[in-house]
């Protein structure tokens, strides 16, 4: 199986998947840490893929999405974005709406806490 085949299978097989540097338990860059931190705090169930463990996956996900940076968040097969986009969506409430629309379980109270702390 090629890296691209694995990426396609992972995105299709997981409701929420985060391509990141490091793991959700131990992120290896600040941007990955921020996105994983949001998802972890909200209690979202997701698969993490450490792009540092496989150079082909690291380049492959960039080619797949035509997006040059990591992390990359996918929800129900759709590319959401990287750190800046996810952060903006979290603060504006758009991430809540996306999760609600796609049937992704998360802690709405904690989402409100993030926004209140950043107001």
What pTM, to 2 d.p., does this model score? 0.96
Facing residues of 69 across strands? none
Instruction: Evaluate the omega torsion of the peptide bond into residue 64 and state whether it is cis, within 30 degrees of 0.
Output: no
pLDDT attached to residue 1: 85
pLDDT attached to residue 119: 87
Task: Tokens 């802690």: give the residue.
Answer: 107
- Which token pair is 113? 């806490």
Share of the chain above pLDDT 90, in %: 98
How many angstroms separate the Cα of 52 from the Cα of each of 29, 48, 61, 75, 98?
11, 12, 12, 21, 28
Query: For 56, phi and psi rounded to 5 degrees?
Result: -70, -40
CATH of domain 3-112: 3.40.30.10
- Other beta carbons within 10 angstroms of residue 25's beta carbon come to 8
Say yes or no to pLDDT of 109 above 90: yes
pLDDT tens readout for residues 34-85: 999 999 999 999 999 999 999 999 999 999 999 999 999 999 999 999 999 9
Sequence ranges of the domains in the chain = 3-112
83 is in an annotated binding site: no
Residue 91: CA count within 13 A, CB half-sphere: 10
């Amino acid at each position: 199986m090629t890296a691209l085949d694995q990426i396609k299978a992972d995105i299709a097989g997981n409701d929420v998947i985060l391509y990141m540097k490091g793991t959700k338990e131990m992120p290896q860059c600040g941007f990955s840490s921020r996105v994983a931190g949001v998802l972890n705090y909200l209690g979202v169930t997701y698969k993490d893929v450490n792009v540092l463990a496989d150079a082909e996956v690291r380049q492959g996900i960039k080619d797949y999405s035509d997006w040059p940076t990591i992390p990359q968040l996918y929800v129900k097969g759709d590319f959401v974005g990287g750190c800046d986009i996810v952060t903006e969506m979290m603060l504006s409430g758009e991430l809540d709406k996306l999760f609600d629309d796609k049937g992704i379980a998360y802690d709405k109270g904690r989402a409100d806490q993030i926004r209140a702390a950043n107001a």
